């Protein structure tokens, strides 16, 4: 077998000329739309007010009990109880006084 020389000729385009002829920029058919984040505190409370009566009272998840437990992790509810306790004690004393006064009135009316 005789060896033949094969001559390969490559033809390349000049990159600058190619860019002048072909548009290589990315194009879209629709203008991009800005994504609006609706997750705001105002939106949370709007939905809470809307769904208030649909939320179950009790349950480990998705309930008023769950919301209270989660919020209690941030808010010290014991602090409020400590401030209210003297008022509750006074109400108890006043109830006892009222009961004693009503018993005294009943005894007076019974003897009369």
Q: In this structure, what are the phi and psi dihedrals at residue 73, rounded to the nearest 5 degrees? A: -70, -25
> 61 with 87, same domain?
no
Per-residue pLDDT, 97? 97
As a whole number, mean pLDDT of residues 32-42 equals 86
User: Residue 22 and residue 27: Cα distance in Å, rounded?
Assistant: 13
Q: Which run of H or of E encompasses 13?
A: none
Answer yes or no: is 103 within a domain.
Answer: yes
- Read off the DSSP letter of residue 11: -
**pLDDT tens by residue, 41-73:** 999 999 999 999 999 999 999 999 999 889 888
Answer yes or no: is 106 within a domain.
Answer: yes
Per-residue pLDDT, 3? 79
Total-model pTM: 0.40
> 57 with 71, same domain?
yes
- For the chain, percent of residues with pLDDT exceeding 70: 93
Per-residue pLDDT, 77? 67
> 58 with 84, same domain?
no
Q: How many domains does the chain have?
A: 2
As a whole number, mean pLDDT of residues 96-102 equals 96
Burial classification of residue 99, based on how many CB atoms lie within 10 Å of its CB (0-12 exposed, 13-18 middle, 19 or more buried): exposed
Domain region containing 64: 37-75
User: What's the mean pLDDT when you consider all of the chain?
Assistant: 85
User: Residue 70 and residue 67: Cα distance in Å, rounded?
Assistant: 5
User: Beta strands of the chain (E only): which ranges?
Assistant: none
């Amino acid at each position: 077998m005789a060896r033949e020389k094969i001559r390969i000729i490559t033809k390349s385009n000049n990159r600058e000329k190619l860019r002048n002829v072909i548009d290589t920029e990315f194009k879209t058919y629709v203008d991009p739309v800005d994504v609006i984040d609706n997750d705001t505190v105002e939106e949370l409370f709007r939905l809470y007010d809307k769904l208030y009566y649909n939320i179950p009272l009790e349950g480990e998840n998705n309930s008023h009990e769950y919301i209270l437990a989660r919020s209690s992790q941030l808010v010290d509810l014991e602090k409020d109880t400590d401030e209210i306790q003297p008022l509750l004690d006074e109400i108890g004393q006043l109830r006892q006084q009222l009961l004693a006064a009503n018993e005294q009135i009943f005894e007076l009316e019974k003897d009369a």
